[in-house]
Amino acid sequence: MFIFLILLMLVSWGIQQRLRSKFSQYAQIGLHSGLSGREIAAKMLADHGIRDVQIISTDGQLTDNYNPTDKTVNLSADVYAGRSATAAAVAAHECGHAVQHAQAYSFLRLRSALVPALSSVSRVMPLLLLAGVVLLRVSIIPLGLAVAVFALATLFSFITLPVEFDASRRALAWMDRSGVVTTDEHAIAKDALWWAAMTYVVAAISSLATLLYYGMMLFGGSRRN
């Protein structure tokens, strides 16, 4: 299991590097329509009748997200002002989350419901794991609590998968219908979103593998005690 976790870390690193390489490559290819990421986002929101979501430029790279709490589509500067198929894909993907929110998409609602619980326990989870491992010979309770918390985080990771894939599906379908990209640009956008989705897949698998690792440790400890 430990070797498997190391392999997953290497795979995750490789996918992250591939994603950055793809985004860097595609960012050099100008969009035929000449629209910026902000304009793409505004058009997609308008086409879905969404008028209460703000589009904001944020710092950093690959920091794009949709915040359902304050209804903002947050686009990194390169995406916000970018006029490439990559910028269009990312902007449309984040707007896909806004559409999910507007249409009460079940998996997004479930993920949002888990956020407060995860936020409150995420800071203590490393300490719980450390205490659980150190005190395992004395008591299984700390590690048991840590495994329970980690199980919640793992559940969140897997619920995130349909949310992300569905947002990409909505983005690509809208881009096709609206004609904001050419056929070649659509293929580029699809490839970029696929690599982005793979980061979530690997993260979910890694979380599950880590949960199983500590779960087996807990099971072994309970048998000894």
Report how many domains make up the chain.
Answer: 1
What are the Cα distances from residue 176, in Å, to 44, 58, 88, 103, 183? Answer: 12, 27, 12, 20, 8
Using the structure block, give the residue that is written with the tokens 């993907």: 93
Domain membership of residue 23 as a residue range: 2-224
Residue type, 109: R
Backbone angles phi, psi at 180, to 5 degrees: -80, -10
What are the Cα distances from residue 174, in Å, to 14, 48, 168? Answer: 30, 10, 10
Rounded to whole angstroms, the Cα distance separating 181 from 200 reads 26
Q: In this predicted structure, what is the pLDDT of residue 221?
A: 63
Q: In this predicted structure, what is the pLDDT of residue 225?
A: 55
Sequence-distant (6+) residues with CB within 8 A of 184 are none
Interval 179-210: pLDDT, tens: 999 999 999 999 999 999 999 998 998 889 88
Extract the tokens encoding 78. 């390169």
Nearest residue to 29 via CA among 93, 88, 91, 80: 88
Extract the tokens encoding 149. 């918390």
Pick out the chain residues at pLDDT < 50: none
Nearest residue to 45 via CA among 148, 174, 184, 164: 174
